[in-house]
Structure 1
Amino acid sequence: MTTIRNPILPGFNPDPAICRVEGDYYIATSTFEWFPGVQIHHSRDLVNWRLAGRPLDRKSQLDMRGNPDSCGVWAPALTYADGLFWLIYTDVKRRLGNFKDTHNYLVTAPSIEGPWSDPIYMNSSGFDPSLFHDDDGRKWFLNMVWDHRRRRTSFDGILLQEYLPQERRLAGPIKNVFKGSPLGLVEGPHLSKRNGWYYLTVAEGGTAYNHAVTMARSRTIDGPYDLHPNIHLITSKDDPDAPLQRAGHGFFVETDAGEVFHTHLCSRPLPGTKRSPLGRETAIQRVVWGEDGWLHLAQGGQVPAVEVDGPDLPPHPFPAEPERHEFDDGGLPSAFQWLRTPEPDRIFSLEARPGHLRLYGRESVGSWFEQALVARRQTSWFYSAETVVEFSPDTYQQLAGLICYYDRARFHYLAVSVADDGSRVLQVISSLGDHPDALMTYGLERDLPIPALGRVYLGVDVRLSELRFRWSEDGERWQSIGPVLDASILSDEAGPGAHGSFTGAFVGMAAHDLSGRALPADFDFFVYRDEPNPI
């Protein structure tokens, strides 16, 4: 029997919705403000996974310019029925304060590779939507409902309404079918049916350290729903020493052989802290149907395990992602994403200078509209990254280089710029979780002079909460630059405004031109490698 080691999708991959199509398994996860929207991973053995695509890749499907940090695509739900994949998602336009603007959409495709349709608007009453295909052919739409009045709680239950696919619209009565358990903050609904029971799986407790997977069931789709005898199927909230914390928000899938596995999000805080730069990751647990007709963790209890027995399926590994990307094949490597805009030609090009990624300096670091930042997820507590840039700024308003980024108030940036006298320099710039002002600090008492022309190699090494930049003129002889920086600020939990932050740490390339002249910066390669974990 194979062993599954969690998390199966390391780094920022939250809110996993799983579905099976014959021998193929797919997990859709949230991408928030990162474009293209929704990550879909594929497996044939539940052990090995590959990125199959990001379906929301054009303006008609998703335009997040102006979306604040940690808004955008929340909690997609992926199902398969009637020869189609059905993908439901929310585009969140506001998350802070009493109000949330949460617009829910549906796209479909005959294949996981597409083509994916233009979206059908569903509603805006809350977030975390999903679609259930009943065995009588009817389809039902669910989402949590947001109460801006906050008279009791803003999480006011789970709404249910019928969806008419022929008419491409919701219709009929809207019913609040489940108010949640005493834990509260009910969200993330998914429906299933077994032996005449409708099973409702939800997330509760908020997506921090009180998070949980809660189950309920009813003989009728609109309830009333009775709670699982343990209330929560999966949670780490009562075990602060569990390696997988913040466990909650997922769904289950059954193999052909009747084995059942349940996804959930989790985080791995840095030792001795409650900060998780890797963000909320995806894990999976073996579960079993008990004689009482409820799912239970196979290992007993409610706390998720790092290692679980895998399914009785042939191993199906995929080629490993390369550490080094040369930008020679005409397309952006799949590991990389950018922020918000559906018009990538305005922020980068792979054709303007063949063999290079050219970034066009746009708005400031942390802009919610048009920022030239192309990056990939941090997937380990220990990693190194390098790149090389050619960039000829003529004003201090122009910067380009290597960035470790969470959001506009949490980043570390090793940037090429110019001093007041016009000489080219290196700067170390950080924002240390300063919400809401996003004030910057500088890691060097004086900017470091570098040659006026030519390539500049930039690198970073992260070891747990320590982050150290380095640079080189030739890519062989490296020199450290700046102090040891705090890598833990690149996390959901860091900073006074951390509540309601939902993404994870990225590392990549950036260019900014506050003069408005879109000065280009050319990057010849990017290397990312996870280092051995000595812990």
Structure 2
Amino acid sequence: MIINPILPGFNPDPSICRVGEDYYIATSTFEWYPGVQIHHSRDLVNWTLVRRPLERASQLDMRGNPDSCGIWAPCLSHADGRFWLVYTDVKRFDGNFKDAHNYIVTAPSIEAEWSDPVYMNSSGFDPSLFHDDDGRKWFLNMQWNHRTESYGGSPKHPAFDGILLQEWDPAAGALKGPVRNIFAGSPLGLVEGPHLFKKNGWYYLTTAEGGTGYDHAVTMARSRAIDGPYEMHPDTHLITSKDGPDAALQRAGHGQYVETPDGKAYHTHLCGRPLAPKRRCTLGRETALQKCVWRDDGWLYLENGTPVPALEVAPPKPVDRVARPAVISRHFDDVVLPPEFQWLRTPEPDRLFSLAARPGHLRLYGRESLGSWFEQSLVARRQEDHRFRAETRIDFAPDTYQQVAGLTHYYNRHKLHALGVTLHEKLGRVITILSCAGDYPDSRLSFPLGPGIAVPDGPVDLAMEVIDNDLRFFWRPAATDAVSGAGDVDWQPVGPVLDAGVISDEGGRGEHGSFTGAFCGMFAFDTSGRAKGADFDFFVYRRV
């Protein structure tokens, strides 16, 4: 069976594309670099990360982008022997304005080097590119109306001012012709995320509505003409969990239609898996896939007969499902980062880290603080399980309290927990906890260990264990044996049990206040400006 979510952890806004027997899904990466994740499958059951195409300064520079900005809602398509990727780079979150710039990049294959971006427009976000069967290409995006009190965390329908359509001329590299507002959305409101496809002479339009929280939905409409008018689906929403409060997959919406070579219908969507008692989705917005059917009325429906998404759906063909490894151990023996790791915002990673400075180690150069929007040395991977343990070994000799390096459970500048090695003027080298447990109204850093606990010189092992909503840090002097497991008796707990649930979309000011996902990883900062290096010997992620 297809087991949902097919892409666990922070993988939102899934755009799906089939080329022959190959399927690709592109998802949003927001402020994480490189931009856009593309996963590949040949059976819709097993998926592998194969590319992050926005990888150099000429394509993407997000230094200064606020949290939850950056790359929103990419759309991946294939036509004319090339792959096409359109996306938004959002430069502002709070306030009336969004400053959302839309671009196109192309490549002859997913694995190839992608082109420099071609600018499209800035009228709104969530763009898509539709290749019509007459050879014309059409660009869609939602239109943002700044004349409303629609701030981050408090979206208002008037700001989501319909879906725009304009023709794209690839020879000229520009949009041309009139801009048409083709779809105002349903009464649910907050219309965004448009995708077009054509079948049996109808243009079918799916959009995301209801915001990206618990009222989220995929809304469907159709028209005989590409510019409308569009009539609404008999049920309005193709996919939504808003009327299924007990469904395992919540926040369902924003996805795209795809057909198998033999005509079977599927639709991606994002979703969240909340934890009791506060219904916080600590894994962020994940990617799921639903099997659909075409009925005699010419409309698409979920195969299960309701708009509420299913945890398990039938694949196109029987296939063995490859389970995710329970333990992933990385020893940094290569000169490139392991594929699951990313960093924040900057196209100049050489200023943040090196895998060559000390062979067999990841060296982080302390830069700006854990709260920086510009240059932050944080290398991390997605949290993919509600229960997990992460371990690392750090060799770090700070000479001031302004130098800190260690292990972190990180969402954004306001939602983080970190166990760091630093220097205290009386205690010497110590480990300390830095914690920031919410966006507003109070987002100050706290120090649950006070001045810290003195530790001996030399490498130390750091660990964190998250069990649903609870996080606990551990440490020990570096073990002489190989990387060891969670049951070792020499691990010592550090500090109180912390609220891991705040490292979520709903933490802080609530479900629309931010919408990325939780990461665990290694960090270093040096606010003295001397770029003190910290060496990490390994990083282990273990499902508990």
Normalising by the smaller structure, the TM-score range is over 0.9
2:231 matched residue in structure 1: 226
- Which whole-Å deviations, capped at 9, do the CAs of 1:44-65 have from their partners, x for residues lacking one? 0000000011000001111000
Comparing 27-36 and 143-152, the one that deviates more: 143-152
Within 2, Cα distance between the matches of 1:81 and 1:259? 21
1:103 matched residue in structure 2: 101
Q: Which amino acid aligns with 2:388?
A: Y
2:117 matched residue in structure 1: 119
Alignment of 1:2-401 (within 5 A): 3-150=1-148, 153-312=158-317, 314-315=319-320, 317=322, 320=325, 323-401=328-406
Within 2, Cα distance between the matches of 1:329 and 1:322? 19
Within 1, Cα distance between the matches of 2:299 and 2:287? 23
1:274 to partner: Cα distance? 1.8
SS in structure 1 opposite 2:91?
A: strand
- Which whole-Å deviations, capped at 9, do the CAs of 1:333-379 have from their partners, x for residues lacking one? 00100000000000000011111000000001120000000000000
2:519 matched residue in structure 1: 506
Question: Structure 1 residues 331, 319: CA separation in 2 closer, same or farther (over 3 Å shift)?
Answer: farther
The runs of 4+ residues in structure 1 deviating greater than 3 Å are 313-322
Q: Which amino acid aligns with 2:61?
A: D
- 1:526 lines up with 2:539 in the alignment: yes
- 1:417 lines up with 2:386 in the alignment: no
SS in structure 2 opposite 1:153?
A: helix
- Which whole-Å deviations, capped at 9, do the CAs of 1:4-44 have from their partners, x for residues lacking one? 11000000000000010000000000000000000000000
Contact 2:326 2:543 in 1 (8 A): no
Q: 1:495 aligns with which of 505, 508, 511?
A: 508
Within 2, Cα distance between the matches of 1:472 and 1:52? 36
1:150 to partner: Cα distance? 2.2
Within 1, Cα distance between the matches of 2:326 and 2:90? 31
Contact 1:409 1:436 in 2 (8 A): no
Question: Structure 1 residues 212, 498: CA separation in 2 closer, same or farther (over 3 Å shift)?
Answer: closer
Within 2, Cα distance between the matches of 1:281 and 1:31? 12
Contact 1:87 1:108 in 2 (8 A): yes
Contact 1:44 1:316 in 2 (8 A): no
Comparing 292-301 and 490-499, the one that deviates more: 490-499
Q: Which amino acid aligns with 1:501?
A: S
Q: Which amino acid aligns with 1:99?
A: F
Question: Structure 1 residues 280, 399: CA separation in 2 closer, same or farther (over 3 Å shift)?
Answer: same
Contact 1:405 1:490 in 2 (8 A): yes
Which structure 2 residue ranges, 5 or more long, are not aligned? Answer: 150-156, 480-487
SS in structure 2 opposite 1:488?
A: helix
Q: Which amino acid aligns with 1:110?
A: P
1:208 to partner: Cα distance? 0.3
1:257 to partner: Cα distance? 1.5
- 1:485 lines up with 2:498 in the alignment: yes
Contact 2:420 2:432 in 1 (8 A): yes
SS in structure 2 opposite 1:94?
A: coil
Q: Which amino acid aligns with 1:263?
A: T
**How many residue pairs are counted as aligned between the two chains?**
528
TM-score of the aligned structures, taking structure 2 as reference length: 0.95
2:470 matched residue in structure 1: 466
Q: Which amino acid aligns with 2:30?
A: F
1:271 to partner: Cα distance? 2.4
1:115 to partner: Cα distance? 1.5
Contact 1:159 1:177 in 2 (8 A): yes
2:447 matched residue in structure 1: 442
SS in structure 1 opposite 2:277?
A: coil
1:528 to partner: Cα distance? 0.3
Which structure 1 residue ranges, 5 or more long, are not aligned? Answer: none
Within 1, Cα distance between the matches of 2:270 and 2:65? 24
Contact 1:395 1:422 in 2 (8 A): no
Comparing 458-467 and 308-317, the one that deviates more: 308-317
Contact 1:394 1:422 in 2 (8 A): no
Q: Which amino acid aligns with 2:428?
A: S
State the superposition RMSD in angstroms: 1.4
Within 2, Cα distance between the matches of 1:173 and 1:498? 36
1:312 to partner: Cα distance? 1.9
SS in structure 2 opposite 1:345?
A: helix
1:329 to partner: Cα distance? 1.6
Within 1, Cα distance between the matches of 2:540 and 2:323? 20
TM-score of the aligned structures, taking structure 1 as reference length: 0.97
1:438 to partner: Cα distance? 2.8
1:421 to partner: Cα distance? 2.6
- Which whole-Å deviations, capped at 9, do the CAs of 1:63-109 have from their partners, x for residues lacking one? 00000000000000000000000000000000211111100000000
Comparing 435-444 and 374-383, the one that deviates more: 435-444
Contact 2:10 2:285 in 1 (8 A): yes
